[in-house]
Amino acid sequence: MVPPPSTPSLDSQQIQQFLSSVLSQRGPSSLPYTEDSKWLIRQHLLSLTSHYPSLQPKTATFTHNDGRSVNLLQADGTIPMPYQGVTYNIPIIVWLIESYPRYPPVVYVNPTRDMIIKRPHPHVSPSGLVSIPYLQNWIYPSSNLVDLVVSLGSAFSHDPPLYSQRRSNPNPNPPNYGQQQQPPPPRVAAAGYPPSPYGRAQPSQTEDAAEVYKRNAVNKLVEMVHGDIIKMRKEREAEMEGLFSAQGVLRKREEEVNKGLKEMQDEKEALEQQLQVVLMSTDVLAGWVRENEGKIKNLGKNNDNVDVDEVFHCADVLSKQMLDCTAADLAIEDVVYSLDKALQEGAVPFDQYLRNVRLLSREQFFHKATAAKVRAAQMQARVASMAARAPHSHYAP
């Protein structure tokens, strides 16, 4: 129906470079597509040009119905349309709007100057806007441009949207009313291109009422089915949105449950460690009680002759050294406190106070250092003892 475009087509590598360039632009000149959809747009256009080399990707200015103008990608060219055993070329423009590919593209039939859009047409408006079931039932992400062109060719093959208009004669002859007018000679199509499936424009003829009724009934049925499909699609989308929201809530609750479970496991481990410490301390205290039960009974019999220093006996040399260091440290602390009181009351001269405090502080330091070393030695001895008893203890985990 239309010859191929006169501009040379781009090869696959040039198309890839062009798409990569325009889709990677940033700033005011960038295309208004979301970042997560640019890769899919590139793949759709590459697949389209691979199957239909006559369609070439371009960028052009698209004007919305509200007057907004925006720079968008388009696929401009021709698509094959089989009709009565002959394949014709239908010129179209596929605009990829801002919401593509989540929403369908906008398709226009692009007639040349010697073509006219058929009126009325079930799928093409007088302005050239195309509306077919594939566009109305667009499903993201399965719908794509290749299947769209296949559906366009199939729809147009049943009812071609364009026909060639008859060119007017620049020097028309006046009609001759005295003789029968001869029919015009048949039009010869341009070399290399098939003629229009409609030939020249034909005057409207009276159609069969049954055919008109049948066509109207089919169109009405198709409209009802499309309406039901759109309604069901909206209901399913609303249901899916609800399910997605519930899924988000469940995932949040799952994270909270996992976090609480981890905290409980950590607390359980800490309590088990404390239980082991308590059980070991219980063993130590129980052994000490068993060792000193006889001493308590003997002290009860001789209450009059009890020596305070002999009430407690250290278990080993380290314990006795720790007891002596601790007692000396506390005694020095009491002496320093008493010197402070005496200085406040004026009973002790200030220089004598400083001298005594210096001597006592030095002695207290040595006692504290010794106690720290003894404590470290006791800890090592206790750890070694626990390690030796661990395999034979019934409290071991």
What separation in angstroms does the CA of 70 have from each of 28, 62, 93? 11, 5, 16
Percent of the chain with pLDDT over 70: 80
pLDDT at position 7: 46
CA distance linking residue 89 with residue 105, whole number of Å: 21
Mean predicted lDDT score pLDDT of the chain:
81
Lowest mean pLDDT among 48-52, 135-139, 204-208: 204-208
At residue 187 the predicted structure's pLDDT band, cuts being 50, 70 and 90, is very low
Lowest mean pLDDT among 26-30, 153-157, 237-241: 26-30
* The pLDDT of residue 82 is above 70: yes
What tokens does 375 get?
A: 């404590």
Phi, psi of 60 (to 5 degrees): -155, 170
Contacts of 54 (CB under 8 A, 6+ apart): 4, 5, 9, 77, 78, 79, 89
pLDDT at position 311: 64
pTM: 0.43
57 closest CA partner among 20, 13, 25, 15: 15
Phi, psi of 137 (to 5 degrees): -110, 35
Tens of pLDDT, residues 333-365: 999 999 999 999 988 899 999 999 999 999 999
Average pLDDT estimate for 324-328? 91
* Inter-residue contact 368 to 329 (CB < 8 Å): yes
Average pLDDT estimate for 222-243? 90
pLDDT at position 309: 65
